Each structure stands twice: as structure tokens, then as C-alpha cells.
């Protein structure tokens, strides 16, 4: 029996001919890449676990370029893989076979910024960190932040509905994205690039494309509501002994920090071991079972400092936390944040990583890690837990020296059944891509998946956009 994550057979799309290449070279001179060396990195995902064999990479600059590409590919029945920064973690960002890669890397212009409303409009290929730098100069920030900020693009963020480290404070992209411009499979341009906070004129079509992983259209521009840059930011790194204490600290923190709380993240002692071993990052406090990263963002350093001080005093005197350190200056804050942000990177040095991104009722999130450790015994090299506590989002990661079907068979479907038994989600923020598509039924009813498939058929009748991704191979 083949593994449900494995790719199905190649669907009967056309293959690229010299005539096709002539067409692409005519509309994208110098931006139609066929050199295998240049194509290599676009064919492999960030985790280096999925590899396609595309022979063509197209680098459009404008919406009109994308429209011409898709109109042509749709007519010729050529499959297309939209690609942003290629930091996706579920095998959605690279071709499975020979799909044409359409990269947004050159679509990196900021189109407008309104410094009164804080609304930014930009092309889809803008790198998240560049947007943050642009906004910081204007006293604003992006409403999202991820460890992949240096490479991921806003179009990729929207297409995966990325969550990240600030969701607790600013909410999901379903709320902050105000408008999208999308090129549909047949080349039509859907201009929903509104910059209005309120607009109840009919169905909110942009929501369909947020999190649709390039299967319904190519996002070419985004308008997004940005918060003011906080005048005071503090980062706290705390350690505690039990997950119960960690949850109590979260409750205390919400109560005492209130509106200035902007992140509440965690990692366990196994993550700390990997950070120490593989990245030589020293533990900033004494050894504990669990570590918490708390960020506050506010407008008054004195007020925020006082609140934080009172919270820390209470957390220490009530013995919820054992140790901790605070950063007010930027460089120390960055160092503390890297203990959380670089766990993903540390894991890649530990071996083959089996990655799970689970939403659960917050009081259950660590139980899954404990149960998985017990269930796997000595089959796995490392079993680690970290994630976005404030959002009820656990990142359960397991490693083995090399990819091992026996380890995989021990993890799946155990992890998915466990999640479904708590009415959790088998993908909280990374999407389904290639790897998770066939597990959708653990989190969505049959009728919902059937409706998704109808929407896909309506918007992309030939199925050329990111085939083999997101939707399951067979409808139930």
C-alpha cells in the first residue's frame, strides 16, 4: 500500500515544447529560465524532502505577464506551480513532476502606503522582512512575523494564510488582508484590491484565495492593514518545570499584561538541547523543562515596564516560573527570539524531520508530545514540542537519522487520530500542500471537501494550478 503523502501518478497535462518556450521567451525575454543549474533550487523545497523535475522557471514582473502566462498555459493544458520564497513546509511550493514554475520573485514593488490608515499595497513578491523595514521607517510594522521573514514573500504568506509569532495580537490574515489582486487559471484578472476596512457588497471573494495554496489563482498584489510601530517592546524568556505551570503563566500573563501582550510562545527542553548541540546557542537561563518567550508591545515604556515588573514578580513569587531574563534593547530581544525562531533550523541538523502543525484546545497541546514519546519509544531520535501557545498551535517534530518508513508508519495515522479525537486541526498554519492533502478528512467533513472540489473545478476547470496539492486524491 503506498503512503498517502506520496504523489499520485502524473496527470495527463501537456509537456513543454520548443514552441511553448518561444512564446515564453517572447513575453519574458531573459526571464524564461531553462538552465538546469538555475532551476535546481526552485525544484527542491526548504526542508529538502520534496523534489520536482520542472524544466522551466518563469519570472514575471507584472500582473499582465502572469495573465499572459496563465492564459497560454490554460489553453495548452500546461500545469503551473506558483512559487514565492519557497519556504513552505508541506511540499506545496515545488513542482511534483514537470509543472512550470511561476515565481513572483521579481514582482517586488510597493504600490502605495497610506500613513494615516496604515494600509500598504504591494506586489505579491515583496519579501516580508523588506516590507517590515519599509514600514518601520514610517513608524508602522507588518501584522505578521515569521522565522522565514528573510525569504518568504507576502503572496506566499497570504496563499498559506501564515500565522506566525504575532497572530495572538493582530489576528490572522483573514482579518488584516483588505484586498487582493488575483490572476485566475484562464488568465482573467480578478481585481479585489480594495483598501477599505468595511465592504459588505456581496461575497468576500478574496477570502477564498487566502490559504488556498496556489490552487485557485496566482495572487499578484495584496493590500494589508498594518499596525503602528510600538514605542516600547520587551521580550522575556522564562523557564518552568511543568506544562501546567506554563499554562497558568499564560493565564496570569493575559490577566496582568492585557493589551500589551503581543506573543506567548514556548519550546521544550528537547528543543533547547537541539539549539545547544546543532546551532551552539547557549541557554540564556538555567535548565528547565519548558521555556516561554513573552513579548509585550505598547506605546509607553514606563507603563509597560511597570506592568511587566508586576507580572514577573507575581510569576516568581507564586513559583510558576523558576528562572527568567528580560530584554528591552533590540539586540538582546533578537537573541532571545532566536531561541524560539531557530528551532526549525536546528531540527534540520538533527536528521530527517517529520513535521506536524496541530491546533488543539490549549490545555491539551503538550499531551500529544508526551503521548507520542511514549508511543514511539526508542524508534525516534528526537521528539520535540514548540509553538504558539497563545493560538493553541503545537509544532510536534520528530527526527530519525534518515527517512524511515517504519518510523513514519508509527507516527501516522496515530498523530492524526489523536488530533481528530480532540476535534483539533491537522494543519494549523502550514497548509496541506502535497504532504498533508490526503489527511484533510481528519479535520474537515466530507461535504466541505466536496464543496472545495466544486470551487476548484469552477475556477480551474482543467486543474492546471498547483495540481496534486491541498485537495485529496480521491473524494469520499
Q: Is 49 a binder of ligand MLT (CB under 6 A)?
A: no
Nearer to ligand MLT, 232 or 269 (CB): 269
Residue 395 interacts with ligand MLT (CB under 6 A): yes or no: yes
Pick from 103, 344, 425, 427 the residue near ligand MLT by CB under 6 A: 344
Task: Kindly give, in sequence order, each residue whose CB lies less than 8 Å from that of residue 17, ignoring residues fewer than 6 positions away.
Answer: none
Taking the least distance from each CB to ligand FAD, the nearer of 191 and 300 is: 191
DSSP string, 368-379: HHHHHHHHHGGG
- 219, 209 Cβ separation under 8 angstroms: yes
Q: Residue 54's binding partner, choosing from ligand MLT, ligand FAD, none, with beta-carbon cut-off 5 to 8 A by kind? A: none
* 427, 431, 436, 440: CA torsion to nearest 10: 70
Cα(146)–Cα(167) distance, rounded to whole angstroms?
Answer: 10
Q: Which does 439 bind (CB under 5 to 8 A by kind): ligand MLT, ligand FAD, none?
A: none
Using CB under 6 A, list all residues that contact ligand FAD: 46, 81-89, 92-93, 104, 124, 146-148, 152-153, 155-157, 159-160, 162-164, 213-214, 218-219, 344, 429-430, 433, 466, 469
Distant-in-sequence, close-in-space partners of 123: CB < 8 Å, separation ≥ 6: 104, 107, 108, 109, 110, 111, 155, 220, 221
Residues pairing with 180 in the sheet: 192, 222
Least spacing, CB of residue 49 vs ligand FAD, in Å: 12
Task: DSSP letter for 311, please.
Answer: H
395 binds, among ligand FAD, ligand MLT, none (CB under 5 to 8 A by kind): ligand MLT
User: Which of 98, 357, 391, 460 lies at the binding interface for ligand MLT (CB under 6 A)?
Assistant: 357
Q: Please report, for residues 39, 41, 100, 190, the alpha-carbon distance to residue 36 in angstroms, rounded to integers and kept in the order given.
A: 5, 10, 13, 33
DSSP 104-160: -TT---EEEEETTTTEEEEETT-BHHHHHHHHHTTTB--S---TTTTT-BHHHHHHH
Q: Closest distance between ligand MLT and the C-beta of residue 169, in Å?
A: 15
In the bound complex, what is the minimum distance in angstroms from residue 16's beta carbon to ligand FAD?
19
- Tell me whether residue 205 is exposed, middle or buried, using C-beta atoms within 10 angstroms of its C-beta: 0 to 12, 13 to 18, 19 or more: exposed
Counting contacts by CB under 6 A, is residue 382 touching ligand MLT? no
| Cβ at position 337, least distance to ligand FAD in Å | 12
Residue written as cell 511514549?
374
**Residue nearer to ligand MLT on the CB measure, 182 or 389:** 389
Out of ligand MLT, ligand FAD, none, what residue 213 binds, judged by CB under 5 to 8 A for its kind, is ligand FAD
Q: What residue number has its CB nearest to ligand FAD?
A: 156
In this complex, which beta carbon is closest to ligand MLT, that of residue 119 or of residue 343? 343
Q: How far is the CB of 123 from ligand FAD (least distance, A)?
A: 9
Nearer to ligand MLT, 328 or 338 (CB): 338
Cβ-based nearer residue to ligand MLT, 166 or 395: 395
H/E segment holding residue 338: helix 330-341
Nearest alpha carbon to residue 187 among 58, 63, 57: 63
**Cα–Cα distance measured from residue 268 to residue 291, given in angstroms and rounded to the nearest whole number:** 6
End-to-end C-alpha distance for the chain, whole angstroms: 18
Quick one: DSSP state of residue 462?
A: T
160, interface contact from ligand MLT, ligand FAD, none, CB < 5-8 Å by kind? ligand FAD
Query: Of ligand FAD, ligand MLT, none, which one sits near residue 162, judging by CB under 5 to 8 A according to partner kind?
Result: ligand FAD
Looking only at residues 107 through 166 of this chain, which bind ligand MLT when binding is defined by CB under 6 A? Answer: 147
**Which residues of this protein are in contact with ligand MLT, per CB under 6 A?**
147, 344, 357, 395
Amino acid at each position: 500500500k503506498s503512503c498517502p503523502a506520496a504523489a499520485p501518478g502524473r496527470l495527463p497535462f501537456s509537456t513543454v515544447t520548443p514552441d511553448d518556450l518561444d512564446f515564453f521567451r517572447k513575453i519574458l525575454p531573459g526571464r524564461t529560465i531553462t538552465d538546469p543549474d538555475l532551476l535546481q533550487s526552485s525544484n527542491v523545497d526548504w526542508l529538502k524532502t520534496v523534489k520536482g523535475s520542472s524544466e522551466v522557471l518563469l519570472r514575471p514582473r507584472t500582473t499582465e505577464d502572469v495573465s499572459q502566462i496563465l492564459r497560454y498555459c490554460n489553453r495548452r493544458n500546461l500545469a503551473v506551480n506558483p512559487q514565492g520564497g519557497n519556504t513552505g513546509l508541506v511540499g506545496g511550493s515545488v513542482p511534483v513532476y514537470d509543472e512550470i514554475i511561476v515565481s513572483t520573485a521579481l514582482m517586488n514593488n510597493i504600490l502605495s502606503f497610506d500613513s494615516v490608515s496604515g494600509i500598504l499595497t504591494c506586489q505579491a513578491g515583496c519579501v516580508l522582512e523588506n516590507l517590515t523595514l519599509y514600514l518601520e521607517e514610517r513608524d508602522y510594522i507588518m501584522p505578521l512575523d515569521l522565522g522565514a521573514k528573510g525569504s518568504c514573500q507576502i503572496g506566499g504568506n497570504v496563499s498559506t494564510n501564515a500565522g506566525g509569532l504575532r497572530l495572538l495580537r493582530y489576528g490572522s490574515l483573514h482579518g488584516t488582508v483588505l484586498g487582493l489582486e488575483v490572476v485566475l487559471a484562464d488568465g482573467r484578472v480578478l481585481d479585489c484590491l480594495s483598501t477599505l476596512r468595511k465592504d459588505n457588497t456581496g461575497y468576500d471573494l478574496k477570502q477564498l484565495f487566502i490559504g488556498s495554496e496556489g490552487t485557485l489563482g496566482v495572487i499578484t498584489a495584496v493590500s494589508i492593514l498594518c499596525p503602528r510601530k510600538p514605542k516600547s517592546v520587551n521580550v522575556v524568556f522564562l523557564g518552568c518545570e511543568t506544562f501546567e505551570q506554563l499554562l497558568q503563566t499564560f493565564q496570569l500573563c493575559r490577566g496582568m499584561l492585557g493589551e500589551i501582550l503581543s506573543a506567548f510562545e514556548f519550546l521544550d527542553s528537547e528543543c533547547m538541547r537541539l539549539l545547544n548541540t546543532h546551532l551552539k546557542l547557549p541557554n540564556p537561563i538555567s535548565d528547565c523543562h519548558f521555556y516561554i518567550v513573552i513579548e509585550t508591545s505598547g506605546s509607553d515604556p514606563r507603563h509597560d515596564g511597570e506592568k511587566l515588573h508586576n507580572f514577573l514578580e507575581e510569576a516568581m513569587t507564586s513559583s510558576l516560573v523558576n528562572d527568567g531574563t528580560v530584554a528591552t534593547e533590540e539586540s538582546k530581544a533578537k537573541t532571545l527570539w532566536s531561541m524560539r525562531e531557530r528551532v526549525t533550523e536546528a531540527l534540520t541538523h538533527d536528521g530527517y524531520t517529520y513535521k506536524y502543525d496541530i491546533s488543539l484546545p490549549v490545555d491539551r497541546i503538550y499531551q500529544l508530545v508526551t503521548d507520542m514519546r511514549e508511543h514511539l519509544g526508542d524508534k525516534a531520535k528526537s521528539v520535540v514540542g514548540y509553538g504558539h501557545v497563545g493560538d493553541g498551535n503545537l509544532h510536534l517534530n520528530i527526527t530519525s537519522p534518515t527517512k524511515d518508513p517504519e518510523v513514519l508508519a508509527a507516527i501516522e495515522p496515530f498523530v492524526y487520530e489523536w488530533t481528530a479525537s480532540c476535534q483539533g486541526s491537522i494543519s494549523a498554519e502550514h497548509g496541506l500542500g502535497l504532504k498533508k492533502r490526503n489527511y484533510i478528512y481528519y479535520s474537515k467533513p466530507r461535504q466541505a471537501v466536496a464543496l472545495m472540489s466544486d470551487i476548484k473545478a469552477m475556477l480551474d476547470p482543467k486543474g492546471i494550478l498547483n495540481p496534486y496539492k491541498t485537495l485529496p486524491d480521491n473524494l469520499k
